[in-house]
Structure formats: C-alpha cells, structure tokens
Amino acid sequence: MVTGAAGRDTPSPATSSEVRRVLVTGAAGRVGKEVVARLAKAGDFVVRAATRGDGAYARSLGAHEVVQWDLEDASTWGPAMEGVTHLFSSTQDKYIAQHMDFAKFCGEHHAGSLQHIVRVCTFGAETNTAAYDDATHVSRSGAAIPLMLQHYWWSEECFLRAGFGDRLTSLRGNFFMNHLLKNELGRIREEGAFASPLGDTKNSFVACNDMGEAAAVVLAEGAARHGDKAYDICGAAPQSMAEVAATLTEALATPLAREVVPDVAGKAVRYEPQDAAQFEADFGATRAEFFEYLRNGFYSRSSPCFYNLTGHRPLSYYEYLTTEGAAGDTGLAELFSDQGALYTKGQDLFKGLQDVKR
C-alpha cells in the first residue's frame, strides 16, 4: 500500500503531461536517504520511498510517498512499482538471489514503463565494460574473483538481461567510508581502538553522500544522457587504516563531535592490525576473500567520474565526517548510528551464497 505525506516544506513535482515517479529502494540507508532528500528538494520527481518500516524517517526527508517493499516478499513488488518511471536500486549483498528475481520481475512487468534504472554496485568483475575472467583472481594464482565481487556484477547484469541495457546506469562505488568501522564501534568507544586486516594498504573509500549525489544527478539528467553508462565512484584520496584512525581522531576533537557524539568526543583512536585468519573466523570466508582486494591495492585508485558528473571533487574522509549531507546528518553521526551496521562477529551473513546461480 502506498501512502502519501503531508505537512512538509518539500516542493511538489513540476506539473507536466507525464509524472516522473522514482522508487528509491533502501530509502532509509546511507545512500538512499541522500537520494530521497536530494530528489525531494529538487522537485522534479514524485519521490516514492521503499521501506520495511513505517516510513516516518523517509517522510521527514521529504518523500512524497512511502510504500512497503521487501525483497524477500515478492507480493510487495507489484504495488511498490505501480506508476514508477524511474528506479534507484540499492540492496544488501546477501539478497543477491532475490534481487535478480526482482530485476526479472521488472523486465516482465515494467519493460514499457520503466525509463531509467540507477544501480549501486562496485567495480572489479564486470564483463560489459571490461573483460574480467571470474576464474582469475587479480593477485592470487589459481583463485577466482571473490564471490561477493562477482555478485555485485550480477546485480547489474540481471538488469541487462531483463532488457534495460540502454536505460541502466551503474554507480560502481568503492567501499563506503565508515563501513569497515561499524563492527568495531564498541572497541572505539571503550578502548579508543579498532582492528582490521588491511594493514598498510591504502583504499579510496567513498562517502555515502557522494554516492547519493551522483545518483540524484544521473536520475535528474536521465537515461538519454546516462543510459548504458557505468561510473566508478571513489573518495578524494586513498587512506590506510592508520590514516583513517588519525582522521577520525581529528574529527572527534572538533566542537561538532561534542554536539553529535558527546560520549566519544575528544577520544584518540588508534588502528591495530588484525590477523587475516582471525578476521575470516569472525566474519566468514566470503567476506574475508573480498577483503583480499582491499589488501592488494585493487581499490587504491581514485576516479574522475564523480567530478565529471557533478563538477566538483568527492569528499575527503574528514570532510565527510564533519559535513552535513542532504539528509541533515554528518558522517560522525552516521558512524555512531545503526545505519549500515550489517555485520556481527561470529555471524556469517553469506553462508550458502556460493549456491546462488545466475
């Protein structure tokens, strides 16, 4: 069931002979919230937020409509897609099988009405804009590309197979800033430390706000300009985990930290190298093998794609931590919130995913 929202200052979409309605999946997530807020403020779309909750947060961001949508419940897909002309697609890694089914559903039922799809994924296994061999690891002899990385590619490919090739834009982001710290927040609060198996390797982690801004720009400018395109979205500069710790320490010393995260304000944070075998024991083989690509330099580079889309460079980590996004919160607030807290030590979220077939 679709519900509207009232009592906000959000502008109504511009009157036209054809209403442009965008369904934003993951609307309460770190990227989705930025897409909702930016598109609602611009006023060019009817913004429909897809959620499994009551939608109050999405409405506070300016969503014109809220709809129940659950990848694990196909009965929600039809009502959510009714009248939709544009789709922002962002889903958790563990739902790759359901996501591919949803893409097939879109091709079977909305091929004539869906004008543009923007998909969030990552780079490194694609075979449409590159020629990666899924059986060939980039740095380890005799190994395949990590399963998670292959699944990110499948999350694009399923839309191509569903017939949306000329209407698909892929935003291939690097690992999100703060993402690798989420399962270490307890230690950061209590001990001022976090562990990671990345060592001294530098990676150009990307701000979720930049991913959201890129998506909003691409959706506004449309498939005529951005269909059948893929953009690698990275951070402004690569950082090692020790440098991440230093930047976080710097941000926690600001007056902003005393305002938004007073319990950790002023804390000095240090990085402690973690044994790769222990990381695998904590989070499972599938996630651990993906982290090899964060240890071998594959995700170290920066990219001009964000600049080419928006006209300005992406955020540095310090800027992300201390700057409000369109949704109204800073990276510091996001870090110490429940947003993106997907992993728990001792739980393998990807167990059984090796059995998923295209």
> How many angstroms separate the most distant Cα atoms in the chain?
60
Query: For the CA atoms of the chain, what is the radius of gyration?
Result: 20
Q: Supply the pLDDT for residue 344.
A: 59
Q: Which of 115, 89, 114 is nearest to 102 (CA)?
A: 89
Q: Is the pTM of this model over 0.85?
A: yes
- Structure tokens that stand for 329 in this block: 């919160």
* Euclidean distance between CA atoms 21 and 123, whole angstroms: 28
> With 50 as the cut, is the pLDDT of residue 13 above it?
yes
Which segments of 43-184 does DSSP mark as H helices, in order? 56-60, 77-81, 96-109, 147-161
Decide: 183 and 167 in contact? Cβ < 8 Å.
Answer: no
CA distance 222 to 45: 12
Tell me the pairing of strands 65-68 and 46-51. Answer: parallel
DSSP 239: B
Q: Cα dist. 176→204, 210, 269, 297 in Å? A: 9, 10, 19, 16
The Cα 210–Cα 325 span in angstroms is: 9
The band of 280, judged by pLDDT with boundaries at 50, 70 and 90, is: confident
pLDDT digit string, tens, across residues 239-275 = 999 999 999 999 999 999 999 999 999 999 999 999 8
Could you identify the residue written with the tokens 């950061």? 188
How close are the terminal C-alpha atoms of the chain, in Å?
31
Cα distance between residue 340 and residue 233, in whole Å = 19
- Per residue in 283-339, pLDDT tens? 877 778 888 899 999 999 999 999 999 999 999 999 999 999 999 999 999 999 987
The CA–CA distances, whole Å, from 299 to 117, 172, 214, 271, 290 equal: 25, 12, 19, 20, 11
Q: Which two tokens stand for residue 196?
A: 């990671």
Identity of the residue numbered 167? R
Q: Summarize pLDDT for 96-105 with one digit per residue, the tens.
A: 999 999 999 9
pLDDT-derived band at 6 (thresholds 50, 70, 90) equals very low
Where exactly are the structural domains of the chain? Answer: 21-177+207-236+301-336
Q: What pLDDT score does 241 carry?
A: 96
Question: Does 142 score more than 90 pLDDT?
Answer: no
21-177+207-236+301-336: what fold? Rossmann fold (3.40.50)
Are the CB atoms for 241 and 271 separated by under 8 Å?
yes
Q: Which of 80-84, 184-188, 232-236 has the weakest average pLDDT?
A: 184-188
Q: What pLDDT does residue 300 have?
A: 97
Q: For the ranges 19-33, 59-73, 139-153, which has the lowest average pLDDT?
A: 139-153
Q: What is the pLDDT of residues 145-191, one digit of tens each?
A: 998 899 999 999 999 999 999 999 999 999 999 988 998 999 999 99
Which distant-in-sequence residues (6+ apart) come within 8 Å of 353 by Cβ? 94, 96, 147, 151, 286
pLDDT at 7 over 50: no
Percent of the chain with pLDDT over 70: 92
Q: Which residue has the tokens 């804009």?
A: 129
* The predicted structure's pLDDT at residue 347: 57
Cβ–Cβ under 8 Å, residues 145 and 136: yes
pLDDT exceeds cutoff 90 at 209: yes
Q: Which H or E element spans position 65?
A: strand 65-68
Q: Which helix (H) or strand (E) holds 210?
A: helix 208-221
pLDDT at residue number 53: 86
Mean pLDDT over 106-112 rounds to 98
pLDDT at 194: 96
- What mean pLDDT value characterizes the chain? 92
Of 21 and 345, the structure prediction assigns the larger pLDDT to 21
From the list 287, 309, 300, 92, the residue with the least C-alpha distance to 211 is 309
Confidence of residue 8 (pLDDT cuts 50, 70, 90): very low
